[in-house]
């Protein structure tokens, strides 16, 4: 997916992999779900698996993945599919040349005439602190490594009829800070994600760093924490219902956040929260994220159900 233009840069790849995933049962994904301190979702497996070497460079004008990349993806699937339940059941493999170290699994879903793409982005790039090197890499090829983590981003993204992203978010850049070489842009994306998520979560309930409703590709998206194939129809229902609440007021939300950082005391937020169906609170009522320190003394969060 191209975040700036809303174009679908997602080349369907490897029909053999698609056929393989189509045969998977649509069960739950029972893996431990966790977040890093930088808000990245990952699955922690009981067993380690190996990721073969992947080329670091890829011509962005070449839409098709290399044979080496497809071979690496198949090798990873051989190891993780048996232990991840219905995580990838019924999905197709896609490829974006702008993100050549990621395997993209997707499926187009529909509800009441509105189409969504369910996109699971699996990051296969090497992370020195977290991964155990099996074979050294080079300037052109990443190392082969062992890990028991799957870093992924599941997103439900609204589509137009022509498979372009249905964008509803205008400019989120509001200025700059600093001087000279240390000038930095000021964006309201984080505040916007807080607004969209807190609106549907019960007052006082903390689920950081999970933002189920957030902006991506200039669209209002939903990241389900339940990753089995059986939950996808419910996930589509949730994003469709949330968009019905948010889209009529999205310009007001953006304007409010350009003037002030997010707070639950914002007049617009209080007005919209009062109008939201309290049934939304039940969606996330039993969700808890517990903080802990990993083996490198870095804070992480584990998803628990109460």
Q: What is the pLDDT of residues 59-114, one digit of tens each?
A: 888 888 888 999 999 999 999 999 999 999 999 998 888 888 999 999 999 999 99
pLDDT at 185: 40
Q: How confident is the model at residue 177 (pLDDT cuts 50, 70, 90)?
A: very low
Q: For residue 145, which of 120, 174, 176, 123 has the smallest C-alpha distance?
A: 123
Report the candidate in 1, 164, 7, 16 with the shortest Cα–Cα distance to residue 96: 1
Q: Which of 257, 238, 259 lies closest to 249 in space, CA to CA? A: 257
Place 3 in a pLDDT band, splitting at 50, 70 and 90. Answer: very low
Please choose, from the candidates 239, 10, 51, the residue with its C-alpha nearest in 3D space to the C-alpha of residue 133. Answer: 51
The pLDDT tens digits for 231-288 are 999 999 999 999 999 999 999 999 999 889 999 999 999 999 999 999 999 999 999 9
Global pTM?
0.91
Peptide bond preceding 209: is omega within 30 degrees of 0, i.e. cis? yes
pLDDT for 11 equals 65
What pLDDT shows up at residue 161?
A: 76
Structure tokens at 187: 């964006």
Cα atoms in the Cβ-side hemisphere of radius 13 Å centred on 217: 23
- The pLDDT of residue 184 is 44
Say if residues 163 and 12 touch (Cβ distance below 8 Å): no
- Characterize the bridge pairing of strands 102-111 and 92-95: antiparallel
DSSP 3-state assignment of 213? Answer: strand
- Residue 291 phi, psi dihedral angles, 5° rounding: -80, 145
In angstroms, rounded to a whole number, what is the distance separating the alpha carbons of residues 219 and 224?
Answer: 16
Tell me the backbone φ, ψ of residue 33, rounded to 5 degrees. Answer: -100, 130
Q: How many helices (H) and strands (E) does the chain have?
A: 7, 14
User: Could you report the per-residue pLDDT of 178-233, keeping only the tens digit for each?
Assistant: 444 454 444 468 999 999 999 999 999 999 999 999 999 889 999 999 999 999 99
29: nearest Cα among 215, 232, 237: 232
Q: Give the pLDDT confidence of 286-297 residue by residue, as tens digits.
A: 999 999 999 989
Q: pLDDT-derived band of residue 9, with 50, 70 and 90 as boundaries? A: low
**pLDDT score of 139 more than 60:** yes
Q: Which tens digits make up the pLDDT trace of 10-52?
A: 666 688 888 889 889 888 898 999 999 999 999 999 999 999 9
Question: What integer pLDDT is reported at residue 12 of this predicted model?
Answer: 67
- pLDDT confidence band for 1 (50 / 70 / 90): low
CB 159 within 8 A of CB 116: yes
């Amino acid at each position: 997916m191209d975040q700036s233009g809303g174009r679908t840069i997602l080349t369907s790849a490897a029909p053999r992999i698609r056929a393989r995933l189509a045969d998977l049962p649509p069960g739950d994904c029972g893996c431990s779900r966790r977040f890093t301190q930088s808000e990245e979702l990952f699955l922690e497996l009981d067993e380690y698996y190996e990721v073969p070497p992947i080329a670091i460079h890829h011509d962005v004008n070449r839409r098709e993945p290399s044979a080496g990349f497809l071979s690496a993806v198949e090798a990873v699937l051989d190891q993780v599919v048996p232990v991840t339940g219905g995580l990838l059941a019924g999905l197709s493999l896609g490829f974006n040349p702008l993100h050549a170290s990621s395997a993209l699994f997707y499926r187009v879903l529909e509800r009441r005439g509105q189409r969504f793409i369910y996109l699971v982005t699996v990051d296969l790039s090497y992370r020195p602190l977290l991964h155990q090197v099996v074979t050294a890499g080079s300037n052109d090829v990443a190392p082969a490594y062992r890990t028991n983590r799957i870093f992924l981003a599941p997103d439900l993204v609204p589509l137009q009829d022509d498979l372009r992203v249905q964008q509803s978010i205008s400019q989120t850049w509001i200025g700059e800070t600093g001087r000279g070489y240390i000038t930095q842009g000021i964006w309201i994306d984080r505040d916007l994600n807080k607004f969209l998520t807190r609106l549907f979560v019960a007052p006082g309930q903390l689920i950081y760093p999970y933002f189920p409703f957030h902006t991506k590709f200039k669209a209002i998206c939903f990241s389900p924490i339940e990753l089995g194939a059986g939950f996808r129809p419910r996930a589509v229902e949730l994003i469709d219902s949330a968009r019905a609440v948010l889209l009529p007021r999205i310009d007001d939300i953006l304007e409010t956040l350009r003037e002030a950082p997010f707070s639950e005391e914002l007049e617009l937020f209080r007005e919209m929260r009062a109008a939201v169906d309290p049934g939304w609170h039940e969606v996330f009522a039993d969700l808890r994220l517990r903080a802990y320190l990993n083996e490198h003394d870095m804070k992480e969060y584990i998803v628990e159900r109460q």
